[in-house]
Amino acid sequence: MDIKEIGKIIRKKRKIWGFTQAEAAGMCNVGVRFLSELENGKTTLQIGKVFHVLEEFGFTVMIKDRSEE
């Protein structure tokens, strides 16, 4: 998974909820510009803010060691 896929997932859930970017950004306490850049897959976003938005959207982030597969 990459940042573009994460952005698509966030956009899809926001639209399912019927939120505008401004409403979703307010819910997450981030700027509209940040949310827009996240939804568009900008690669230089602050990872802490990305994790925060994912949490606010109800997602859990897992890290799995590929060598253990």
- Rounded CA-CA distance 12/34 in Å is 16
- Taking the model in full, what pTM does it have? 0.90
Please identify every stretch of the chain with a pLDDT value under 50, giving residue numbers as ranges: none
- The dihedral region occupied by 29, where left means phi > 0, alpha psi between -120 and 50, and beta the remainder, is left
For residue 68, what pLDDT is reported? Answer: 84
CATH class of 3-68: mainly alpha
Q: Could you tell me if 16 and 58 are in contact, meaning their C-beta atoms sit under 8 angstroms apart? A: no
For residue 42, what pLDDT is reported? Answer: 97
Q: Could you tell me if 52 and 28 are in contact, meaning their C-beta atoms sit under 8 angstroms apart? A: yes
